[in-house]
Each structure stands twice: as C-alpha cells, then as structure tokens.
Homo-oligomer: A and B are copies of this chain.
Amino acid sequence: MSSDIITMVHGSGGSATSELIESIFEKNFDNDTLSEMEDSAVVEGAPRFAVTTDSFVVKPLFFQGGDIGRLSICGTVNDLLMRGAVPKYITCGMILEEGASIDNLRRITESMAETAKEAGVEIVAGDTKVIEGNGGIIINTAGVGFVDEKLDIASGNARPGDKIIVSGNIGEHHAAILASRLGIETDIKSDCAPLVKIVHNLIAHRIRIHVLRDVTRGGLATVLKEIAGACGNNFMIKEELLPVTSMVKEFCGLLGLDPLYMGNEGKLVAIVHPEDEEAALDIIRHSTYGQDAVCIGEVVSGGDSASGNDRTSGNDCTSSKDHTSGSVILETLIGGRRELDVLQGEGLPRIC
C-alpha cells in the first residue's frame, strides 16, 4: 500500500480494492477457497446447519482484552454454538470509513485470523466497501455451522426443574469498553472469547442441554427474560450466586451500573436437565473460558411459582397474585424478590 489510510478509491472495485484485498485480507485469511476470488465460495456441506449474522460497530476498535476483529469472530462463532452447531465457515463484510488506518486494519485482520484459527473456522468469503466518515471500521460476519441431526437446543426447550448455569463472570466486556471510553484506569478485561470448547465438551459428554444462549447486548437479565418468554416457564435465580468479580462490582458501584444488564462476549447460559447439573458444571469448569461457571438457579412452572412484582425489598413472596408465565425472579441478597425484565432504554451504545 502506498498510502497509510483508506480513501474512497479502495472501495472502487478496481485495482486499489484488489491490492487491499491481496495485501491484507488474503494474506491473513489464507485459504484456498478465499484465494479463488470468485463471486461466492463453494464448500463442503452437511444435512443440517445453523446460519447467523452479526455486525460489529464497537468503539474503541482496540480495548483491554480484545479488539473488533476478535469480537467479530467470537460473536458469530458463539451464535452458531448456541444451537449446538460446529462452526465451520465465516464470511467477512468490511465497511471502512474514509481515513481508517491501514495499519489498524492489518492488526484487526490478523486478530480475526488468529481467533478464527482458535475457533476452528475458515473465513471463506469477503467484501469491502468504503464510506465517508472519520476513520471508523465496521465488520459484519455471517457464519455457517453444522448441526448434528439428533440435537435440539433452543430457547423453547427449558423445562421445570432444569438448572440454569452461567459459564463465568458477568459484565466484563461492558465494563472494559466503558472504562476504555471514559479513560478510567482499571485491570478489567473484556471476556471476548470463542466458546467452542465448552459447547463441544458438553455435547461430547452427552449432557442433556435444553438451551444455550450467549450473554451479549442487554446482559444476563435480558437473555434470561427472552428465554423465559420463549419457553413459557419462570426462572428463579439467586443474587448471591451471580458470578461477578469484585473489580466489576466496584466499577459498577462507582458508576451506578447493574451487572445484570451489562453485556459479555465470552459467557453463555446453559439450561440443562437437573440430573446433569453437576456433570455439566464440572465439564464447563474444565473447558477453556469456563473455569468460573456456576449454577444460578432453576426453571419452575409458569404461572404457579412466583409472585409479586416487587422491585423494592418488600418480601411479599406469598402473595396470591400469580405471575404470568415467562417471568424471571431474582431472590435478592436480603431475601426480597425482584422481577427482571429485558433491558429498557439505551444501554451502552456501540458495545459490540
């Protein structure tokens, strides 16, 4: 590259686009399929597969514990894993603002290549566009994974009695991004990671997994509420069991944030058959990125299990008013009950 920033000419589809692709993308995403430079990649298939897409607009591009490149692979790989799929192919749509640093683009691309290798996926197709702007970089990834025909993992499958496991500490990605944006010095790192090993090991050990969801935008509370809504049962979780590091707790205290609504990028919720709770916990804790896994509660029948809609500390648990099904009830440290809804309002913009 003769220049060190992206200009409109890199989006022309002509020689400058080709040079950019060859010198940065092809070099890093080295594989035969991509090098063919055809309109689409032809790859080996499977009888059943999972498909997903995610765009990444995180600011800043580089943060403690990761960067937009690592995030763009982890996000899509994790979405595939949440249906029990083995992630296989990734496509990469780069949307570059004029003025983007080509050196940053190179580092981000290297990070994508490394993360793809770690996750066992191939980046098989790509596209590059340039828009006006201030040097920003946006990445869309879509992914395809193969799903075993015997597996049926979906939010609707959570049953009364099932145990709710979280694979590790919550709020870390959100806190790292916010700290970096506010210039607060902290050792909090984003948890951004591909959860391939955790899911692979659970499936290999025939754990009866009913639901898997990764905890991203909206945080644990939003994810739990969405699953509860899909399955029509209620979730009872205990505040004392929630995995939050003291660093994140302190950070949240300082800024008035609730870790339950803070996004992660390397944590999942697994809802499993009650008899498999201990085995599942043991497997996750021995898998990469799962060492802090805990069971935070269980699924109870919709409509008959919880009551009150008490966001204060009132402990009126025996009220006769039934919840509609699909509620998420948090038993607080002081014994109260608080019903959790999905995130309302803004959240943190451009967190992923």
Q: Which residues in A have some Cβ–Cβ distance to B below 8 Å?
A: 8-9, 11-18, 36-57, 78-80, 82-83, 85, 89, 91-95, 124-127, 129-131, 136, 138, 140, 142-147, 154-156, 212-214, 216-218, 222, 226, 230, 263, 341-347, 349-350
Residue of B at shortest CB range from A143? B40
Apart from the given pairs A8-B346, A42-B48, A45-B47, 10 other A-B contacts in the complex at a CB distance below 8 Å: A13-B218, A14-B218, A38-B155, A39-B80, A39-B212, A42-B83, A43-B49, A53-B126, A57-B129, A130-B349
Between A12, A18, A39, the greatest number of chain B beta carbons within 10 A of the residue's beta carbon is seen for: A39
Answer whether A349 and B39 are a contact pair too, CB < 8 Å, given A51-B89, A127-B55, A146-B45.
no
Asked whether, in the complex, the Cβ of A43 is within 8 Å of the Cβ of B51, the reply is yes
Residue of B at shortest CB range from A218? B13
User: In the complex, A39→B54 CA distance in Å?
Assistant: 10
Copies of this chain held together in the complex: 2
In the bound complex, residues from chain B placing their C-beta under 8 Å from that of A344 are 14-15
User: In the complex, A29→B265 CA distance in Å?
Assistant: 28
User: In the complex, A313→B13 CA distance in Å?
Assistant: 28
User: In the complex, A46→B82 CA distance in Å?
Assistant: 21
Asked whether, in the complex, the Cβ of B95 is within 8 Å of the Cβ of A347, the reply is no
Answer whether A80 and B40 are a contact pair too, CB < 8 Å, given A53-B93, A129-B57.
yes
Asked whether, in the complex, the Cβ of B129 is within 8 Å of the Cβ of A9, the reply is no
A293 to chain B, nearest CB (A): 19
